[in-house]
Structure 1
Amino acid sequence: MSATGDSAPFKGRTIAIVAIVSIVAFIAFMLLSAYEGDLRPQRGVGAHALSNSAVGFSGVIQLAQATGSTVRTSRDPRDVFSDGLLVVTPQFGMDPDELKRFVERRDGRQTLIILPKRIVLALPQRPGWVREAAVLQAGELNAMLKGVADVTVRDARGGRTIQGATLEPILNGPSGGALLAAVKGSGTYILADPDALNNMGLKTLAGAERARAILDEMEIAEEPILFDLTLVGRGEGPSLLKLAFEPPYLPFTLCLALATLLAALHASRRFGPALHEERKVAFGKRAIAENGVALLRLARRRHRTGARYVALTREAVASATGAPPGLNGAELDRYLDSLSREGEPFTSIAARAADAPDTRRLMAAVRDLYSWRRTVTRDHR
């Protein structure tokens, strides 16, 4: 059965649609791969800024944003060097040296350490809810802060407080202790009772007002408040893929995409006729000529073929112009010189072609000889 019509299995329009869909899908895949960590819900039930549970701090973030502050969570370890207030929520059992190194890297920038208080367990039947498994004793937290300041955490009626010779009270708590204190000679603050800022503490209007007052004591004008997530195991290192889609590298990515698009458009259209595959062995005279040329090229003797080309030209022009019979040698050359009154005579061009020292000069003489031949034969038609 012979094929009829267009032999292409797909139309050009179909191929274009498939290509466009593939490109869009690839770009979407790269974007989702770069930002999948930000798009994936990561709430949890612990005492950190993403938690909606009673011990979490997502409520104070919403409160600060609603009252005009710029607040965001930080998964990038490099944010430890950022300005503004950085809120840290260390977990019970953390290595004191790790917290000490974190504070030292802040290098005097404002840092709020919220001490842990409860150990909770998630309720599988009620997502986002927790139940209290244990309350940390105040003495258990003293070791956590030994690298930051020499302080004592105490339990008091109505809340937990903190005391120490290296502390400067900011907000007083019950029974004479400090609910919020600053470490002298640094920008570090310590909040003794997390219930002052967590979701459970914000369930009343008084609790919300107290939380706002605590932030106001430390907030720097026009600087954001960052809630650190690296110390609770939710940090992310810098991503090269994400950098490609963010300033200052975004213009380079767009230029690269535009260059790729232009290259694809250039390749989609054919310039000139399609090249046909040549035969491995040429037919007849052409094969003999090509083989002869190949041998001359191999022997590096192409520039010595000028005399033979001059002889062929001499015979062709003599025949085309009706030269008198019997002329040969010098007499025939004088006849050929007389055919053209202008320009370089035949004998001069023939001498250059016959004595050419290299291929470049041979080709120049051959071109001049061919031009002379066309001129004199045209005049004798």
Structure 2
Amino acid sequence: MAAPDSQLFKSKTLFWLIALGLAATIGMAVTSVLLDDAKYSVTSGTNSFSKSAIGHGAIADLLEKNGFEILKSQANTDSKLLGSKTSLFLLEPQAIKSIEDHINTLTYYSPTLLVLPKRRGVPNPGKPGWILTSNLLNLKTPEKIANYVTSETEIIRPDENIANWQNTYDLPGAPKINDIQLIKNDKLDPVIWNEHGILLGKYTAEDKDYGDWPIWILSDPDLLQNHGLGDGWNLDFTLQMVSDVTASADTIVIDEIIHGFTMDPSLARAMFSQPFIYATIASLLAVLVFMFATTRRFGAALRQEKSIRDSKAIFLNNTARIFRLAEREREALIKLIDDGGLQVAETLRAPDNIGQASLIDWLDARSHARGCSLSYSTIRIRAQNVPVDDPDQRGRIVIIAQQFHEWRHTILSGSVTNSEPASEEEKK
């Protein structure tokens, strides 16, 4: 006996569900690989998202290729600094009061590289992410930021060319920087310097409120900005400086809150941002497909269930069908009982490939378990034993047909009423 179709969806519905899933996966993969951050890919400022001349995108990418984990933090930076294997980069912060408090909090947690600002770029409206030109900041701006972490700082820009560079890295070359910007502060240990001032200095706070971690202050950002990183010995000095700051750390946290880039973690926002927007759309469409699939109009055709309650009209039609088969009433009744028994067995989930004798025994067991007054075999034997030459043959056939009808109604609508074990399907 063929098992009833238990497939939840039609093939077409399954095809669309699978297609939506694949489309979402491919969309997320393509977006993640080929597209930059949608919000910050066109910034032209002095931040790690920027690919402009005064940006720091190049050094961030380079360090990531060199094995560092780069976190461009836009929220909860302090929580990312917990642990001994992180370093903090503050690349050209803004000179505002809230940033001062923010910097003083972050420098408590990790070794820090503070890069002072020097220029402000003018964005190019015709080329997003580019600048038309850049202007030098007033010296008071980098001086104010340096004083966030130490005091009595002076920033200078010597007019003369500087040749007598010194460094603790034993590098034979010199930084190549135009309009050099230097810092003067007796609290700094010089790392790269000349007779005019310090390009890179190390500051260790005596005040324990600042923590025990040193702070390296780079006075001129041109050393590692996109436009200057590849000039002369700049890259060599930059890599040595990074090695000093990071020591054994393998994670660099670049704080972007200092540039106004803030993004509080939000699952709802992430769902509608690239690349997750594709998965969100696909999920919504899949829900719609599922809803349509569960309706009569759009879903798979409902399986034709055998009615538990046969109407009186059906019984009368079956009896009339027997009478229309002239002189073959008994054979027709037996065939009706056999066909009806198969339908009952299918409805009650009889075992597959069961033989006729075993099927009769199975139906008898179910009849007894469900409280039928007559067994299936009894009704079938009575139909077989109706005499062919009996003048009251039709009356007997009608009675047996009615008995079969009542048996069928009882076995389909009744429940297990004795200790006869139910079938596996009934247990389910």
TM-score between the two structures when normalised by the length of structure 1: 0.55
Match among 253, 265, 277 for residue 226 of structure 1: 253
* Deviation, structure 1 residue 202: 2.0
Match among 88, 91, 112 for residue 89 of structure 1: 91
Task: Tell whether 2:305 aligns with 1:275.
Answer: yes
Q: How far apart, in 2, do the equivalents of 1:110 and 1:202 lie?
A: 22
Identify the residue that residue 188 of structure 1 maps to in structure 2: 215
**Percent identity of the aligned residues?**
18
Q: Which amino acid aligns with 2:48?
A: A
Identify the residue that residue 8 of structure 1 maps to in structure 2: none
Determine which structure has greater relative contact order: mean sequence separation of CA pairs < 8 Å that are 6+ residues apart, divided by chain length.
2
CA contact (8 A) 1:86 1:226 kept: yes
* Deviation, structure 1 residue 55: 1.2
* Deviation, structure 1 residue 121: 0.3
* Deviation, structure 1 residue 194: 0.8
Identify the residue that residue 136 of structure 2 maps to in structure 1: 135
* Deviation, structure 1 residue 128: 4.5
Mapping of 1:154-173 within 5 angstroms?
154-157=155-158, 159-164=180-185, 166-173=187-194
Match among 196, 209, 224 for residue 175 of structure 1: 196
Cα deviation per residue 1:46-74 (whole Å; 9 max; x = unaligned)? 111122222112232344456x3415241
Structure with bigger helix share is: 1
> In the superposition, relative to structure 1, how do residues 64 and 243 fare at CA in structure 2: closer, same or farther (>3 Å)?
same
Q: How far apart, in 1, do the equivalents of 2:86 and 2:374 lie?
A: 85
Q: How far apart, in 2, do the equivalents of 1:196 and 1:123 lie?
A: 23
CA contact (8 A) 2:112 2:213 kept: no
Identify the residue that residue 20 of structure 2 maps to in structure 1: 22
Q: Which amino acid aligns with 2:185?
A: G
Q: Which amino acid aligns with 2:18?
A: I
* Deviation, structure 1 residue 122: 1.9
CA contact (8 A) 1:86 1:110 kept: yes
Cα deviation per residue 1:314-372 (whole Å; 9 max; x = unaligned)? xxxxxxxxxxxxxxxxxxxxxxxxxxxxxxxxxxxxxxxxxxxxxxxxxx9x959879x
* Deviation, structure 1 residue 42: 0.9
Task: Tell whether 2:240 aligns with 1:213.
Answer: yes
> In the superposition, relative to structure 1, how do residues 124 and 187 fare at CA in structure 2: closer, same or farther (>3 Å)?
same
Q: How far apart, in 1, do the equivalents of 2:314 and 2:134 lie?
A: 100
CA contact (8 A) 1:181 1:191 kept: no
CA contact (8 A) 2:199 2:220 kept: no
* Deviation, structure 1 residue 36: 11
* Deviation, structure 1 residue 27: 5.2
Identify the residue that residue 115 of structure 2 maps to in structure 1: 114
Q: How far apart, in 1, do the equivalents of 2:371 and 2:62 lie?
A: 90
The runs of 5 or more residues in structure 1 that have no matched partner are 1-10, 245-259, 287-363
> In the superposition, relative to structure 1, how do residues 36 and 76 fare at CA in structure 2: closer, same or farther (>3 Å)?
farther
Identify the residue that residue 318 of structure 1 maps to in structure 2: none
Q: How far apart, in 2, do the equivalents of 1:36 and 1:65 lie?
A: 17
Mapping of 1:9-48 within 5 angstroms?
13-26=11-24, 39-40=37-38, 42-48=41-47
The runs of 5 or more residues in structure 2 that have no matched partner are 1-8, 163-179, 206-211, 272-286, 316-367, 386-428
Identify the residue that residue 267 of structure 2 maps to in structure 1: 240
Which of 1 and 2 has greater Rg? 1
Q: Which amino acid aligns with 2:57?
A: S
Instruction: Tell me the SS of whatever aligns to 2:233.
Output: helix
